[in-house]
Amino acid sequence: MYDLILKNGKVVFPDGVKVVDVCIKDGKIEKIMPSVKDLTKDVIDCSGFYVLPGIIDAHVHMRTPGLTMKEDFGTGSRACAAGGITTFIDMPNTRPPTLNNDDLDEKRGFANDDSVVNFGFYIGANGKNFNDIKHVKNVAGVKVYFGAHYKDISIEDAGLLEELFKWGKMPIVIHAESEKGSYEAVKQVLHIAKKYDARVHIAHVSTDSEIEEIRKFKSEKVTCETAPHYLFLNKNAFQDLGNFAKVNPPLQTHEDQEALFKAIDDGVIEMIATDHAPHLKEEKEKSFEEAPVGVPGVETLLPLMLDIVNKGRIDIVKLVKLMCENPARIFDIKNKGKIAEGFDADLVIVDMDEKRIVRNENLFTKCGWSPFNEWELQGVPKITIVNGIKVFENGKIIAGDFRGGEVKFLQ
């Protein structure tokens, strides 16, 4: 007997969409078939709905430990569940930063206690913790803030970066900055990565110039992501949003937006991740110089992308590749990223016809706002399933005592 069957859904596979039943047992997808008898404890009729793999957001800041007035694993994971995200990977720039196994174990404890979706972590690099990095356990990769003046968690010496690439035992994720702009820093990083044939992933690409530089070096070992705020907002957003549009790197031009979409079409940009970076409203209402950078994004990522599927900008198979398959492949996440027998039962059921207006007061994120407030979007996550358990349904978190688990990275 199965624990749960999703019947008659339009299931999105790597090679297309098929109307089939998905049978779940013990947290896994046990069987996929055209029609199955209802030998189960629970059945969801998915007629007319699409069934996607759970979204993997490989770039979030859940603010734990040290900054939990902005977000924590409980509120952030519930926001993920509401947005169809079943796995997130958390960045290391917390207080204190995540620089060794002890720091990681502390985070694991918080996430195990509070997160209703699955989770993973990066370790940070500060030029002094190379030995800790070499002995780290089960992380997605090393996050390097290169040329970025972040206290206790940045590298400004290219020689130290070379040492890391020369070692090259796991993906190196780069937040690239320099006084001349992101382009020059990205260019420098790509040359070093090529020198050592290392895996490098460029975070939050936002400009045409970065794209063209990445295009020159593109290979299986050179990957990159952009974020929804760069796709859907540009410099003009400051007129309405003010500091609520202040992000790092900053919003760019309409022409850069078009270049990002073209790079998605071309396969240069292989992943979309939120860079979910919540701050309290009162922080954003300070002067421009004092206001922190960053916007929340986990609840709006999938609705924004479903909306442009409805508008014909991309197709739903491409969406799944960008937000499920490719994150799992790039970071070697075991049994995630696609709907297949034997894979984890992380799924999201979406209504492509329903329209919904984003409203700050309805968000689960602790910060309580979105730069997409009052946007009407067509395409809504209806049910989110994590490890075979329904955690979100029709606007409500229904996880109860269930908690997600740490994902397994295979590198």
The residues with which 33 forms a beta bridge, in sequence order, are 21
The SS3 of residue 105 is helix
Distance of alpha carbon 335 from its chain centroid, rounded?
A: 17
Q: Give the pair of three-digit tokens for residue 379.
A: 């395409």
184 Cβ contact partners less than 8 Å away, ≥ 6 residues apart: 178
Contact indicator for 13, 315 with CB cutoff of 8 Å:
no
Distance of alpha carbon 390 from its chain centroid, rounded?
A: 20
Does 45 participate in catalysis according to the annotation? no
Phi and psi at residue 156, in whole multiples of 5°?
A: -115, -5
Run of H or E including 216: helix 208-217
Contact indicator for 75, 363 with CB cutoff of 8 Å:
no
How far is 12 from 408, CA to CA, in rounded Å? 24
Q: Give the pair of three-digit tokens for residue 136.
A: 């780290």
With CA atoms as reference, report the closest residue to 144 among 165, 119, 116, 117. 165
The residues with which 397 forms a beta bridge, in sequence order, are 392
Q: Give the pair of three-digit tokens for residue 12.
A: 């999105």
Q: Give the pair of three-digit tokens for residue 54.
A: 């759970």
Q: Residue for token digits 């996550």?
A: 381
How far is 275 from 229, CA to CA, in rounded Å? 9
* Cα–Cα separations (whole angstroms), residue 127 to 157, 162, 173, 196, 230: 8, 11, 15, 18, 30
Choosing from 275, 307, 344, 346, the catalytic residue is: 275
Instruction: Judge residue 180's burial from the number of C-beta atoms within 10 Å of its C-beta, 0-12 exposed, 13-18 middle, 19 or more buried.
Output: exposed
Q: Which residues are catalytic?
A: 275
